[in-house]
Structure 1
Amino acid sequence: MTRPRLLDLFCGAGGCSVGYHRAGFDVVGVDIEPHGDYPFELTVADAMDVLADRAFLNGFDVVHASPPCPRYSTITPAHARDSHPDLLPPVRAALKAWGGLYVIENVPGAVRYMENPTKFCGSSFGLEVRRHRFFESNAPLMSTPCRHPEQGRPIGVYGDHAQDDSEYRRPDGTRRGHKAHDLDHAQRALGIDWMTEWDDLTEAIPPAMTEYIGGQLIDWLEVAA
């Protein structure tokens, strides 16, 4: 049986990509930076340029996009947010114009700018991180509830490097919980075993989230066929 194809835009080192692959997709990634740990075919290019190539997009059953989030992130100081590009609207417009099945992912701070997003949490999948993320799609998506009490104190993976497991705070002073104390701890907390760069881990989506979403997308494709 031929596996459906998924294009992962702004893929980083492949957190989303691996989840979709586990769900049953053949995945191709696009990122403006090379990522040596990316486990599938990677095109190093501007994702916005790729979005403009309808003929290329037509080679895929699904397109996923994770436009950069600093504009909406709680760790970005308020005075600096406007210096970051707002790519959500043009990404959505391009995907809608393409007309195929799509998913857009972003951080909680972007939720009011997203269309009917669905929330996911690492605690729902037995992970040490929470890493709440929102996904919008032109297919209906189901989520699972957060399981914060069962999870206990969450682990954070952020910052310039692993330093210790003490508490860190956001620019607004709110606590972010304990920080992963080394690379191995960060990998375990996220459910990621192939990334070897701390910076990639700080930006990664736990693959458990997109594996769950990917199964739903495959069901949707089969119904629509």
Structure 2
Amino acid sequence: MSARVLPLRRPNGLRLLDLCCGAGGLSMGYHLAGFDVTGVDNRPQPNYPFPFVRADGLEYCARYGHTFDLVHGSWPCERYATVTRWRGNPEDHPDLVGPGRQVMQATGRPWVMENVPETAAAGILRPDYLLCGTQFGLPIRRHRVFETSWGGGGDLVPPCWHRPGLLAFEHKGERAYADAMGCTWMTNREARKAVPPAYTHWIATQFLTQNGSAAA
């Protein structure tokens, strides 16, 4: 299954596989860093702006992950997120971080995992990078943890600055929230699980800086 495809800028000639891509917030960050992006999700993503495959992320990664230069996995967060506890039983949602890490490691390629901060607090995800919209000049408060195969380090970003008036994620005013994230192509519903492209634009820059020679 495919969706509308943007012209690709590939100054580095590298390919990025985005597993559990959703509507493509993090995919866009890699694209802006120069990667040729392919997204995989088990649900239709009609607004995903790059080549898209509807498939199980674990199975697709096991079969094709080794053909990409960098593999990203945003495995479902509902099992770990605090908001899930308000709505139901977290045990009703799959625990895919461990299996996701294993299948990405098995590709032999560099990889990145992204999830909610609760995974770091529980020791599920190693917080190589903890990012917030305010660190990139965005008027939003949304923290995400990134674990990488290269273990973090590199350039530093400013600390969070949660000044009054920031947009926090709510189900009211999601259009404004999506636009503030830089995810203007998404619907309100898609924005609920979106992450600003600025995060992976920065992550990709760290990868290229620290692993550029190996990737090339």
Q: TM-score normalised to the size of structure 2? A: 0.86
Structure 1: gaps of 5 or more residues:
163-180
Number of aligned residue pairs: 200
Shift in Å, 1:121: 0.5
Counterparts in 2 of 1:9 and 1:92: CA distance versus 1, 3 Å: same
Identify the residue that residue 119 of structure 2 maps to in structure 1.
110
Identify the residue that residue 137 of structure 1 maps to in structure 2.
148
Counterparts in 2 of 1:201 and 1:33: CA distance versus 1, 3 Å: same
Identify the residue that residue 185 of structure 2 maps to in structure 1.
194
Identify the residue that residue 53 of structure 2 maps to in structure 1.
43
Identify the residue that residue 176 of structure 1 maps to in structure 2.
none
Residue 71 of structure 2 is aligned to residue 80 of structure 1:
no
Residue 117 of structure 2 is aligned to residue 95 of structure 1:
no
1:67·1:87 contact (CA, 8 Å) conserved in 2?
Answer: yes
Shift in Å, 1:2: 5.3
Counterparts in 2 of 1:77 and 1:152: CA distance versus 1, 3 Å: same
Residue 69 of structure 2 is aligned to residue 58 of structure 1:
no
Residue 150 of structure 2 is aligned to residue 157 of structure 1:
no
Shift in Å, 1:77: 1.4
Shift in Å, 1:222: 2.0
Identify the residue that residue 24 of structure 2 maps to in structure 1.
14
| Structure exhibiting the larger radius of gyration computed from Cα positions | 1
Cα distance in 2, alignment partners of residues 182 and 84 from structure 1: 24
Q: TM-score normalised to the size of structure 1? A: 0.83
Question: Structure 1 runs of 4+ off > 6 angstroms?
Answer: none
1:123·1:130 contact (CA, 8 Å) conserved in 2?
Answer: yes
Identify the residue that residue 161 of structure 2 maps to in structure 1.
148
Q: 1:216 aligns with which of 206, 209, 212?
A: 206
Cα distance in 2, alignment partners of residues 139 and 132 from structure 1: 21
Across the aligned residues of Structure 1 and Structure 2, the Cα RMSD in angstroms comes to: 1.7
Instruction: Name the aligned partner's letter for residue 126 of structure 1.
Output: G
Shift in Å, 1:57: 1.5
The percent of aligned pairs where both chains have the same amino acid is 39
SS in 1 for 2:67: coil
Counterparts in 2 of 1:182 and 1:60: CA distance versus 1, 3 Å: closer
Cα distance in 2, alignment partners of residues 2 and 128 from structure 1: 30
